[in-house]
């Protein structure tokens, strides 16, 4: 395979409009990556460009046929959502609106990638606009609520494109993209911009851009990746990349948005779902993926206290390393002090 092909496969690559999906899994931890680079073509579970498939039944593409139609709906919408020939507007730039659009069919793919072409724009000046868009992969659909126009205590995955800092004390720069996984037990705290429940996030300047703005979500083998293309460079930029995420199959894709005292137009131009061809072990194949409880097997620790949180192997190792270093430093300092004292003693007596 040509070197260029490798870059294409392993980097985020260019977002090529005519080409389905992103090439292969994203960049991994460096060591396995190098190993895989060496092993290259013999590794069976790497997807190549041709083995990713657009799934029409889970995609929202212009012209929006089958949206909201009664006979064979692919997508249903609710609330302030309106459909034009060019976009689906979840909310207009007006106060106290909420709207959503939901895929009609549950998704039974184990590995997928969703590309969302969206536009958030309005008359509001900096920090006088809100609230943002949420992208969903959840058990329930079409239920309005306080979380960007959709229900709280949801089951599944949410990606928040939050344009307004409700938490005035935050040092964060908005708009801000974050992800949350919920088994129904967690509540999204709007006043804190979901700070306590977010798994990861990044600042992303997507509002009032003159050009097209895109976001991609990839879920494969427990790894959740969010990428953005906001600079009109036709290039994916990494925003979120976490592992240990468990999501069932059989949930619904959706998008919702809400406005409050502040508002914006929240538009979805397209949502394209690609199946990623990834091999799973027989044990993985044998479990009932619809029964998986949404969960994440790591807990992000609050900023500044990097050693709090659950004691995973890595943390234990770090703690032991710190302890060992501490002991060594103490021993060296002790030895030096002892020696100095001895010398002084020798001089005095």
Q: Residues interacting with Ca ion, by CB under 5 A? A: 162, 164, 166, 193
Q: Which is nearer to ligand NAG, 24 or 248 (CB)?
A: 248
> Tell me, what DSSP letter sits at residue 251?
B
From the CB of 184, what's the least distance to ligand NAG, in Å? 7
Do 180 and 194 form a contact (C-beta atoms < 8 A)? Answer: yes
293 binds, among ligand NAG, Ca ion, none (CB under 5 to 8 A by kind): ligand NAG
Q: Which is nearer to Ca ion, 47 or 259 (CB)?
A: 259
Q: Which is nearer to Ca ion, 166 or 183 (CB)?
A: 166
Do 207 and 215 form a contact (C-beta atoms < 8 A)? Answer: no
d(Cα 25, Cα 27) in Å, to the nearest integer? 7
The token pair at 122 is 């309005």
Q: Helices marked H in the chain — which ranges?
A: 3-10, 30-39, 282-286, 313-348
The token pair at 119 is 């536009």
Start-to-end CA distance of the chain, whole Å, equals 78
Q: Is 183 among the residues that bind ligand NAG (CB under 6 A)?
A: yes
From the CB of 193, what's the least distance to ligand NAG, in Å? 19
Tell me the number of residues near ligand NAG by CB under 6 A: 4
From the CB of 114, what's the least distance to Ca ion, in Å? 22
Stretch that binds ligand NAG, among 20-28, 97-105, 178-186, 227-235 (CB under 6 A): 178-186
Q: Which is nearer to ligand NAG, 187 or 249 (CB)?
A: 187
Nearest 5°: phi and psi at 341?
A: -65, -45
Q: What is 133-191 written as a DSSP string? A: EEEEEES--S-EEEETTE-SS-EEEEEEEE-S---TT----SSEEEEEEEES-----GG
Q: Which is nearer to Ca ion, 133 or 230 (CB)?
A: 133
From the CB of 293, what's the least distance to ligand NAG, in Å? 5
Closest CA to 243 of 8, 24, 29, 7: 29
d(Cα 275, Cα 52) in Å, to the nearest integer? 5
Closest CA to 251 of 183, 198, 162, 185: 183
Closest CA to 293 of 186, 156, 109: 156
Q: Helices marked H in 82-140 — which ranges?
A: none
Do 145 and 118 form a contact (C-beta atoms < 8 A)? Answer: no
Q: Which of residues 70-99 bind ligand NAG (CB under 6 A)?
A: none
183 binds, among ligand NAG, Ca ion, none (CB under 5 to 8 A by kind): ligand NAG
From the CB of 158, what's the least distance to Ca ion, in Å? 13
Q: Which is nearer to Ca ion, 188 or 252 (CB)?
A: 188
Q: Which is nearer to ligand NAG, 284 or 293 (CB)?
A: 293
Q: Is 297 among the residues that bind ligand NAG (CB under 6 A)?
A: no
Stretch that binds ligand NAG, among 53-61, 68-76, 180-188, 320-328 (CB under 6 A): 180-188
Q: Is 30 among the residues that bind ligand NAG (CB under 6 A)?
A: no
Stretch that binds ligand NAG, among 62-70, 179-187, 205-213, 214-222 (CB under 6 A): 179-187
d(Cα 135, Cα 209) in Å, to the nearest integer? 20
Burial 119-139 (b: 16+ CB within 10 A, else e): bbbbebeeeebbbbbbbbbbb
- Residue 273: C-alpha distances to residues 133, 244, 270, 338 (Å): 18, 22, 10, 69
Q: Is 293 among the residues that bind ligand NAG (CB under 6 A)?
A: yes
Q: Which is nearer to ligand NAG, 55 or 155 (CB)?
A: 155
From the CB of 55, what's the least distance to ligand NAG, in Å? 29
Q: Is 310 among the residues that bind ligand NAG (CB under 6 A)?
A: no
Q: Which is nearer to ligand NAG, 293 or 343 (CB)?
A: 293
Q: Is 185 among the residues that bind ligand NAG (CB under 6 A)?
A: yes
Map residue 323 onto helix, strand or coil: helix
From the CB of 174, what's the least distance to Ca ion, in Å? 7
Q: Which residues bind ligand NAG (CB under 6 A)?
A: 183, 185-186, 293
């Amino acid at each position: 395979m040509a070197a260029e092909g490798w870059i294409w496969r392993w980097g985020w690559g260019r977002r090529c409009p005519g080409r389905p999906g992103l090439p292969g899994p994203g960049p991994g931890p460096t060591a396995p990556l190098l190993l895989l680079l060496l092993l290259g073509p013999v590794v069976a579970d790497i997807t190549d460009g041709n083995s990713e498939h657009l799934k029409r039944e889970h995609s929202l593409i212009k012209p929006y046929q089958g949206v909201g139609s009664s006979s064979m709906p692919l997508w249903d919408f609710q609330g302030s959502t309106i459909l034009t020939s060019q976009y689906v507007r979840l909310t207009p730039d007006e106060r106290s609106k909420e709207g959503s659009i939901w895929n009609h069919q549950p998704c039974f793919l184990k590995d997928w990638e969703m590309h969302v072409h969206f536009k958030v724009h309005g008359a509001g000046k900096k920090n006088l606009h809100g609230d943002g868009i949420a992208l969903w992969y959840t058990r329930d659909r079409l239920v309005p609520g306080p979380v960007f126009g959709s229900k709280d205590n949801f089951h599944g995955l949410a990606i928040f494109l939050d344009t307004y800092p409700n938490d005035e004390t935050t040092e964060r720069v908005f708009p801000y993209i974050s992800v949350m996984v919920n088994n129904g037990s967690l509540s999204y705290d709007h006043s804190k911009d979901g700070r306590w429940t977010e798994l990861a996030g990044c600042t992303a300047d997507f509002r009032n851009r003159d050009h097209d703005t895109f976001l991609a979500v990839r879920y494969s083998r427990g790894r959740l990746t969010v990428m953005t293309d906001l600079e009109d460079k036709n290039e994916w930029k990494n925003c979120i990349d976490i592992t240990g995420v468990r999501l069932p199959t059989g949930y619904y894709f959706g998008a919702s948005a809400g406005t409050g005292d502040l508002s914006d137009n929240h538009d979805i131009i397209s949502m394209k779902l690609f199946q990623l061809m990834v091999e799973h072990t027989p044990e993985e194949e044998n479990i009932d993926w619809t029964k998986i409880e949404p969960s994440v097997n790591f807990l992000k620790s609050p900023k500044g206290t990097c050693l709090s949180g659950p004691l995973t192997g890595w943390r234990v190792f770090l703690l032991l390393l710190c302890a060992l270093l501490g002991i060594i430093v103490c021993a060296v300092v002790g030895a030096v002090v002892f020696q100095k004292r001895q010398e002084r003693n020798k001089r005095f007596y």
